Structure 1
């Protein structure tokens, strides 16, 4: 009971120190409010209002029909241009696509010939160029088929593929971006807050005050873990339920409570990593550099940005030892696909096991740091 009381009181001390630091409070509030909203809505992954130039050398009803098939929200109204204007527009970024319709295009097509259309693409935006090229190909194919056969369907196939998109029927990108930003901020802030708390103790000299008290390194570490994890968990709940669900109107398929339980398990592992970094670093600038080296790979290689299946097998195997891999896995399963505890419990156990290893390493480093401070 005395140990629990010490952990509780030390945690309250951590909360008071955190609430006294206005910069960190502003960072936490922004990360789970404006940061989530801007990251999700400001970086659209869909084709939206792409500027198109059409070099029409045919001036036929068919070429005008093709030009009229580009409409919002995917494309802006096409602008007529010459070859030199289209090239200059692509060079300056004024146009993302330039479609060149050659002379006598309609006549050659009606005569059974195979005239060629040229599509020039600004590929500096890889995502938009890839999606836009596919859209333009389907638009032109539909218009040509309707002109020649009276129907927009292509040649009859021996099979018919029926596509049904689950969990995100309209392929809305900011649904994915909003939830993943909450997940990424949980990882980032949990490590920053705990590591910064330890460095702050050392720089302000309060660590020496703790050492003269009847406290153990285990009690000090657990206090920092639960206090900072509680703040991040409350902020993440606000970001998920208010910003993502209420403001952005992103449907969450699964249980928010189950996700928060899993997030609490992850926060234990992430806070342990933060304490370990705090024992390695000697100052706030060093901690910042270490966080860059640790957090960015954890986020990029966890499966939240790109599928793990597209990574080299060695990287996949190494990242199984990172708690973020399991966190992203069960978070997507719960929030996107509505998975229950019977599906995600192995991920919870994996996170707790990895967190226990990091906590033991951090405890050993913390005891060593305490010994060096006493000396």
Structure 2
């Protein structure tokens, strides 16, 4: 199973302002502009890269500057920016706020230079005092807060944000057939157990950690079909609904599973979580419900979705970052695994 990484397509999608959201095939669709959701994901991926070269550090600097520019003085965050550099929406506390904190917190903990870490931490603190009413936004924010706490265990704003996120995510249900804290599996589902696992590690809280691990084990069971990952499709999945496979399947789902499994392995050291990571990585390479690879080896990009008999041939930012993130985990944790 190949774990080679190419950032070629990420460079192709990036200009002097930021990371273009959409592509037509492999060509950036400049008319659609940029979004913080993707640039913050890019910040996470670049921060995770070990020993990045000068070109990747410069890219990281550009993404960090983009996210910092999106912050309003009250800590809310813009999301949409056009190709002329103008913000096209009002700042808010939705997913883009949560993902901005995820990117900033990850960079504050692990960016390759002291200057970048300090800049990211200042940005994290500028938004960490806010709270979102939306569980998924708080879930993403929790991932950033946890990264800060792993590096700075005494950081009280990060601790308060992570504690609040656990409360907003809600209790894990007692019903073994549906312990999920929401009535529907929606999007980036793996981020929910990962946030709980990270909170259990950092707060620390053994009950929260156990709940996160239980949710992840259940999610892997629900999203495995014939030994391969079969992610929740765009339309979601309700309790008692069609067991699948469902389409179209998005790369972000496989990447969220990979993130959660890598986190669970860090928390427990158990090899069972590497099996889940391997399924997520394999999904990109053709071990999926359509037996089609999502990786485009010619561009280094990732196709935007898996359909019943094919692929969405566009290679946008979200998909490509999902591939890169999952491949990073596979390279680090699976390369030496028999």
> Would the TM-score normalized by the shorter structure come out above 0.5?
no
TM-score where L is the length of structure 2:
0.27
Which structure carries more helix by proportion? Answer: 1
